[in-house]
Amino acid sequence: MRKNTDPQAAMKQHMGLKASTRITNTFVYVLLIVISIVWLIPFVFIVLQSFRIESTHQESYLLPKQWGIDNYIHLWHTNFPRWYLNTFILALGVAVLQTIIVLCMSYTLSRFRFKMRAGLMRFMLILGMFPGMLAMIILYRVLDDLHLTGQYGNVVPGLLLVYVASSGMGYYVSKGFFDTIPKSLDEAARVDGANRAQVLTKIILPLSKPIVIYTTLTAFMGPWADFVFARYVSQMYQDSLNVAVGLQSWLATDTMIFNNYTYFCAGGVVVAIPVTILFICLQRYYVEGVTGGAVKG
Amino acid sequence: MASVKMMKVKKIYDNKVVAVHDFDLDIKDKEFVVFVGPSGCGKSTTLRMIAGLEEISDGTIEIDGQVVNDLQPKDRNIAMVFQNYALYPHMTVYDNIAFSLRLQKIPEDEIYDKVTKAAEILGITEYLMRKPRALSGGQRQRVAIGRAMVRNSKVFLMDEPLSNLDAKLRNQMRAEIILLRKKLDTTFIYVTHDQTEAMTLADRIVIMKDGFIMQVGTPAECFDMPANLFVAEFIGAPKMNIVKTNLIREGNRYFVTPFGVKIEVDGEKGDTLRAKNVPAGEILLGFRPEHVSLSDQGIPVTLEVNEMMGSELHLHVYTEDETRLIVRTPTVNLSRADRENLAYGAKLHLSFEGKVMHFFDPKTEKNLLCD
């Protein structure tokens, strides 16, 4: 086919393309702004409600008439600090243990070749397809037999056990990331005198900051935001609740909603603070971690 | 400094592919041995087995008299330079070179002395605080060599260290490796697919094909007396011309008749044929492009391609029976008119002497003059 070499026609075509790109971009940006607003409304709403002190129940207006931090102060006179501590210890413990297990598992599957390796990976893939909820009842029975449910006091060890136990199965993203690091680096380090553990800690992990951060963040977020399993295992014993279950317990009835709504909002903000700070500080690594494992470089 | 001994070493992969067959080799202390061969010949696998990065399926490897079959790479006291440099990207050049020394828990001031001395030898002092990504290919390769140097290892292994460099830098680094070898005075095992590197660096060359050793010898031995057709064609650039012809014996004299032209095998080659009493018959005759000259009489050929290489011409010609041959001709002997006449379709005559011929058995492809 002969190319159109007429400069006027080419210019016209170029202008046409430019106009259509501008229209598309405008449409995309307007859509994104609308989505952002819709997405931000609940957050803004909760933050505003948490500073409203003229009443504790829901109101039909958005902006508080009286501003203050009374709701936050009130939190300290409830079980909230205990729930917060429960959740924080649990999330921290899971983040540390799960990160170690996932990274070791991923490194092993990425670098070692052993019998049934492929079979094991397939098995874990299939096993991961079953919803975790299916195991909830039997897990409760096991934890109850081990005296690790709410009625026996602190539920943190039991939940830690459950959250960490299946961590190894979440190896996919980090294994994909490790696969992109040349094996010759491991080999060079081994020739240089490093053992396998030193190769992992001194070579592979420093090169895998995004994936370590991604793994830690996701491991932290799981128990931090868990509701269903935490509620079931805690059996609503006040000392055993995490923040999600505890805060929800403040809204169990209409009367409670009337009395506790602004406290609930203040609690929600306090729960969101550490996660928000973590994500803001580490978002660059987080995105690299999510996308890094996806494409083999 | 150490000897390396390999006895019946074999490598069979899980998929039953045999990468290295019964590899026997005795590398002497302070010797520079080059494994050379085409891709997939098993040269890198053999090197990696010596390094301990690849398990051996059978046989024994000894370094300095100690069997190392089951030793980890770190316990073999070897140093290795990798094809892709394998520098640790998150460390500075200094930390890269110091890495192995820190693992040995050597005091930091001693590490400093060793690293700066190695950097000085390699001319990378000014780059010590840079990360590898801020270095050129040649500088990276020097860092990789420096990392291996500071370990004072018994054996220095190099896996195609120059193959990622451009031609000019490769020549420069090749010369630097020769100088480095003199300074380090240790045992070197070097892998390459480039026969020029092998010829220029090696005390002995090990030529490999499909996991088998084809020949072990000095560069001169491999060039002058290739053990078989593969070595004859692999060593030397452009490769040796091979033609099927007849070896004729008339009394005590031997002749060959390539393309109907009768040429006497004289000199040392003729003496060896007589001494070995080689029978007349069909053979594969080899002669190197540089041993063929243009002449007024001889084998008639037609010029197809003329490659101007600067100091010489590579003439690709074909004979009347369409056999392709290559001729190397120094340009210094050619007038401008001669050079202009060497154009596509030019009719030429080639000649070569009996003393430069190589004779191979057409069935076994072995050199008829070798034991």
Which domains are assigned to chain A? 79-292 (1.10.3720.10)
Question: B104 by DSSP, 3-state: which?
Answer: coil
Give pLDDT, residue A289.
65
Give pLDDT, residue A235.
83
Domain B234-360, CATH number (from 2.40.50.140, 2.60.40.10, 3.40.920.10, 3.40.50.970): 2.40.50.140
Give pLDDT, residue A293.
45
The verdict on a CB contact (< 8 Å) between A192 and B74 is yes
The answer to whether residue A194 neighbours chain B at the CB level (below 8 Å) is yes
Tell me the C-alpha distance between B249 and A73, whole Å: 114
Q: Chain A residue with minimal CA distance to B74?
A: A193
The verdict on a CB contact (< 8 Å) between B78 and A191 is yes
List average pLDDT for each run of 10 residues in chain A, which is 297 residues long: 65 79 94 95 92 88 89 92 93 95 94 91 89 86 89 85 87 90 93 93 91 90 88 84 90 89 94 89 75 44
Other beta carbons within 10 Å of A266: 25
Interface test with B, best of A191, A199, A200 (most B CBs within 10 A): A191
A201 to chain B, closest Cα gap in Å: 13
Q: Chain B residue with minimal CA distance to A115?
A: B14
Selection from A174, A165, A286, A172 nearest residue A221 by Cα = A286
pTM (predicted TM-score): 0.81
List all residues of chain A from 200 to 259 with a beta carbon under 8 Å from chain B.
202-203, 206-207
Tell me the C-alpha distance between B56 and B49, whole Å: 6
Reported ipTM: the value is 0.85
Hey, what are B284's tokens? 């594969």
The verdict on a CB contact (< 8 Å) between B88 and A203 is yes
Q: Locate the domains of chain B by residue range.
A: 4-228, 234-360
Query: What percent helix, strand, coil does chain A show, rounded to 5?
Result: 75, 0, 25
Selection from B38, B35, B19 nearest residue B27 by Cα = B35
Q: Say which CATH topology domain B4-228 has.
A: Rossmann fold (3.40.50)
Contacts of B348 (CB under 8 A, 6+ apart): B294, B300, B301, B302, B303, B315, B317, B342
Written as tens digits, the pLDDT of chain B (371 aa) is: 689 999 999 999 988 899 999 999 999 999 999 999 999 999 999 999 999 999 999 999 999 999 999 999 999 999 999 988 999 999 999 999 999 999 999 999 999 999 999 999 888 999 999 999 999 888 999 999 999 989 888 899 999 999 888 888 888 889 989 988 888 889 999 999 999 999 999 999 999 999 999 999 999 999 999 999 999 999 998 999 999 999 999 988 999 999 988 999 988 889 999 999 999 999 999 999 999 999 888 899 999 999 999 899 999 999 999 999 999 999 888 888 888 888 899 999 999 888 889 999 999 999 999 87
Q: Chain B residue with minimal CA distance to A206?
A: B90
Residues of chain B neighbouring A203 (CB-CB closer than 8 A): 88
Tokens 């301990």 sit on residue: B52
Rounded to 5°, the CA angle B122-B127-B133 comes to: 110
Q: Which of B53, B100, B103 shows the shortest C-beta gap to A187?
A: B53
Hey, what are A147's tokens? 């005296």
**Residue A220, H or E segment:** helix A209-225
**Helical pair B93-103 and B108-122, crossing angle rounded to 10 deg:** 130
Q: How many CB pairs under 8 A join A and B?
A: 58
The sign of the torsion formed by the CA atoms of A229, A233, A238, A240 equals: negative
Interface test with B, best of A192, A198, A208 (most B CBs within 10 A): A192
Amino acid identity, residue A10? A
Q: Which of B14, B74, B88 shows the shortest C-beta gap to A193?
A: B74
Sheet with B212-217, side-by-side order of all strands: B78-81, B155-159, B187-192, B32-36, B204-209, B212-217
The answer to whether residue A192 neighbours chain B at the CB level (below 8 Å) is yes
Residues of chain A neighbouring B99 (CB-CB closer than 8 A): 189, 192, 202
A183 to chain B, closest Cα gap in Å: 9
Q: Which of A185, A195, A202 shows the shortest C-beta gap to B86?
A: A185
Rounded to 5°, the CA angle B19-B20-B26 comes to: 155
The answer to whether residue A119 neighbours chain B at the CB level (below 8 Å) is no
Contacts of B339 (CB under 8 A, 6+ apart): B313, B331
Q: Which of A113, A194, A207 shows the shortest C-beta gap to B89?
A: A207
Selection from A208, A246, A252, A201 nearest residue A227 by Cα = A246
